[in-house]
């Protein structure tokens, strides 16, 4: 597994915009449990929750996406990142920091359409 997909990448892929590069998919992809939560939240807001949930589950299965849980290493990485960013006045929301911490802890590259946002974290590999 080489890549962690951000929520916006999956949403754009589903909408037919900025499809995920096949090379990335073949290299092995994962999402954070945080991304999974954001996707499920989106299905609950949908007019047809069951259909939206089925689409999301099919995408996860079709792309063979691994869902990475939070663990102690991710939590400590998150805390370290948050403190460092607060010192410099560069704030990211907690969900984004947890996604970044997941990528860093697993030594994989974050694929996002929000590169400027995540480049505030100099040690994070962003695609």
Element (H, E) at 100: helix 94-105
Give the integer Cα–Cα distance in Å for 34 and 91: 18
Q: Is residue 21 annotated as involved in ligand binding?
A: no
> Please, which residues have CB within 8 angstroms of residue 126's CB and are 6 or more apart in sequence?
109, 110, 112, 115, 118, 119
Query: Rounded to an integer, what distance in angstroms lies between the CA atom of residue 75 and that of residue 69?
Result: 11
CA 5 to chain centre: 4
Nearest to 67, CA basis, from 36, 110, 103, 111: 36
Find out whether 94 is annotated in a ligand binding site: no
Bind-site residues: 6, 96
Bind-site residues for Mg(2+): 6, 96
């Amino acid at each position: 597994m080489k890549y962690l997909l951000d929520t916006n990448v999956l949403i754009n892929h589903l909408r037919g915009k900025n499809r995920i590069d096949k090379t990335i998919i073949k290299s092995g992809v994962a999402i954070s449990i945080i991304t999974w939560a954001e996707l499920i939240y989106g299905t609950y807001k949908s007019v047809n929750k069951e259909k939206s949930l089925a689409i999301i589950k099919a995408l996860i299965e079709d792309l063979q996406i691994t869902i990475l849980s939070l663990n102690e290493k991710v939590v400590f990485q998150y805390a370290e990142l948050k403190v460092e960013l607060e010192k410099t006045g560069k704030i990211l929301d907690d969900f984004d920091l947890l996604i970044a911490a997941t990528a860093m802890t697993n030594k994989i590259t974050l694929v996002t359409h929000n590169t400027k946002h995540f480049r505030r974290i100099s040690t994070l590999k962003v695609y």
